[in-house]
Amino acid sequence: MKHRKFALIFVAMTLVVCTAMSLAQTTKLRRVGVYTFAMVKGQEPTPAVLKGLFDAHAAEIRTGFEMAGNAELYEPFMEQMKTAEWLDTTIPIGEVLPWMLFKSHGQVKVARNIEWAGKEALPVFIVPVEKDWKQYAFIIPKGCGNIALGSEVKDLIPPAVCSLVVTPARTNANDPVTVDMSGSQNAKSMTVEVMDAQGQRIATQELTPQSPKWQTKFDRPGEYTFKGRVVGLDDKVAECAGVAKVAVNFQPICKLWTSCMPCEDYVGRPITFDASGSSDPDGEISKIVFEMLDSEGNVMDTCVTTRKPWTWEKVFAKAGVYTINVTVFDNDGAQSSASDPCRLTFEVTQKTLYWNVGGGLGIYGGSTALYGFLRAGLLAWITPDQWSFTLTGGGGIPFAGDPWKIVFNAEALINGHFESFFIGTGVGVSSNTQPKDENHKFGVDIPVQAGFDVIDKWTSKGQLFFEFRMPIGRSFEHNWKAGAGFRFLF
């Protein structure tokens, strides 16, 4: 029983070896025309004739390709043989063909490993056919019209070409940078690497021919280097010829100085905002924008300056709390950081206290005596531009002699202001205009003043006024006073 099993194993192994040897052996072909596939007697075997014959026998050709194990080459062959350039040539003695289609007794057959063993080179047509980046050579012997596959298969995969374009070459922090590898050719994958100025890799991005672009940005200034590479259809790596560099612009630095801080009594007075101390580490300042905001954060005024000395002079017509916001731009369009100390909140107050001096002419005591008077004092705003308090005092000198005396008077008034017109009243005192007697005494007055602002600046004023003083507790006829004058407030 055991001997019988060994015998069976030996027979099986012998069959396998013999089959393999038979497959590896070649069939020598010494002449053609015996088993023809597509020949018509009496016709010259030209490409045009053979194309027509192949079209007529398309179904048999499909069967033959399937039998040969190359069914995937049938469609390319049938399509491309119509337009391909048929090479009229010969194959040398000893040329081995992987397989050949022929017909025997009307049936399609496939002969494998055919070696041309004729006495001279075999006249043939060679038809190139491309499939999946490979070029096959189909051999058509002129004497039989059979179809054979040539042994040489050319690799048509072109080498990959790497293209890397990065724009812009100079940009500002957090602005987009576009990486474009769409110009790469014959690539199935693409990779771009980004290095900082120290050569440290900070990013790697994989791209594809279907999605060859990438957008990134940098939040820090400096120079960045981009390197690209592609993997070709042949799985070989191709580096881009050069690197791309992007310079990320340094932001300008803003510095602000103001001519007052705090800005007391500065309503109506110019305040200078000076940004000339600003600088740009890698360029030049091209523009500075000053924005003035009110207490609610609304922009109430703007100044854009494009030349030195980078200052703005502004006059405030109202007291209040304001914010100055300054933004510096460089020649690349970068702007100073919002964290820079160029946003300042300050208070502007209106001048509420004025000193005044003035003088004029008056008639005192109901006589025809004319006086010239001089006074000094102060004006204080109770409500700016609406209500004020004045306190003044001085003396009047008569232009006539005895019995008229120098008169001293003073008054405290509350004044109402109506644009340039004002009127006020209060309490005052006056000395006697003649030697003291029953009719001429020192006493209290009720003065009334009215007038106009003829000079109206925020820091100074000039007023033309008229007054009448009514005595209290004294003879009206002998103690009333009237006058007109001018006073200057500063």
273-304 pLDDT, tens digit each: 999 999 998 889 999 999 999 999 999 999 99
3-state helix, strand, coil in the chain (%, to 5): 10, 50, 35
Which of 462, 479, 459, 482 has its CA nearest to residue 471? 479
Q: Is the domain defined by 353-489 classed in CATH 2.40.160.20?
A: yes
Domain 257-348 has CATH 2.30.30.20: no
Using CA atoms, how far apart are residues 234 and 106, in angstroms rounded to an integer?
Answer: 43
Asked whether the domain spanning 353-489 has the same topology as the one spanning 257-348, the reply is: no
CB 70 within 8 A of CB 149: yes
In this model, does residue 16 exceed pLDDT 90? no
pLDDT reading at 340 higher than 60? yes
- pLDDT value of residue 414: 97
Alpha carbons 271 and 261: distance in angstroms, whole number: 10
CA 429 distance to own-chain centroid: 74
Report pLDDT for 440. Answer: 81
Helix (H, G, I), strand (E, B) or coil at 9: helix
pLDDT at position 15 over 60: no
In the predicted structure, residue 314 carries a pLDDT above the cut 80:
yes
Cα(444)–Cα(428) distance, integer angstroms: 6
Element (H, E) at 302: strand 299-305
Phi, psi of 81, rounded to the nearest 5 degrees:
-70, -20
Q: What is the pLDDT of residue 255?
A: 94
Q: What's the rounded Cα separation, in Å, for the pair 58 and 74?
A: 9
Higher pLDDT, 401 or 61: 61
In the chain, what are the domain boundaries? 24-155, 165-249, 257-348, 353-489
Which tops the pLDDT comparison, 130 or 268? 130
Total Cβ atoms within 10 A of residue 35: 15
Look up residue 195 and give its two tokens. Answer: 């290095």
- Crossing angle of helices 58-68 and 47-56, in 10° steps, is 80
| Residue 81 DSSP class | T
- pLDDT (tens digit, 9 = 90+) per residue, 96-149? 999 999 998 889 999 999 999 999 999 999 999 999 989 999 999 988 889 999
pLDDT > 70? residue 3: no
More confidently predicted of 386 and 14:
386
d(C-alpha 104, C-alpha 35), whole Å: 6
CATH classification number, 165-249, choose in 1.10.150.120, 3.40.50.450, 2.60.120.580, 2.60.40.1220:
2.60.40.1220
Mean pLDDT over 359-385 rounds to 87
Q: Which of 98, 27, 40, 33 is nearest to 67 (CA)?
A: 98
Residue of 225, 159, 162, 160 whose CA lies nearest to 191: 162
Bridge partners of residue 112, in order along the sequence: 99
Q: For residue 366, what pLDDT is reported?
A: 56
Predicted TM-score (pTM) of the model is 0.52
Per-chain mean pLDDT for the chain: 90
pLDDT beyond 70 at 20:
no
Is the Cβ–Cβ distance between 190 and 230 less than 8 Å?
Answer: yes
pLDDT score for 31: 87
Check if the beta carbon of residue 476 is closer than 8 Å to that of residue 470.
yes
pLDDT level of residue 45 (50, 70, 90 thresholds)? confident
Q: Which two tokens stand for residue 152?
A: 């040489």
| Percent of residues, the chain, with pLDDT higher than 70 | 93
Residue 415: the pLDDT is 97
Q: Which of 439, 443, 430 is nearest to 472 (CA)?
A: 443
What is the band of 433 on the pLDDT scale with cuts at 50, 70, 90? confident
- CA-based end-to-end distance of the chain: 140
Q: Which of 14-23, 356-365, 396-405 has the lowest mean pLDDT?
A: 14-23
Contact call for residues 187 and 232 (beta carbons, < 8 A) = yes
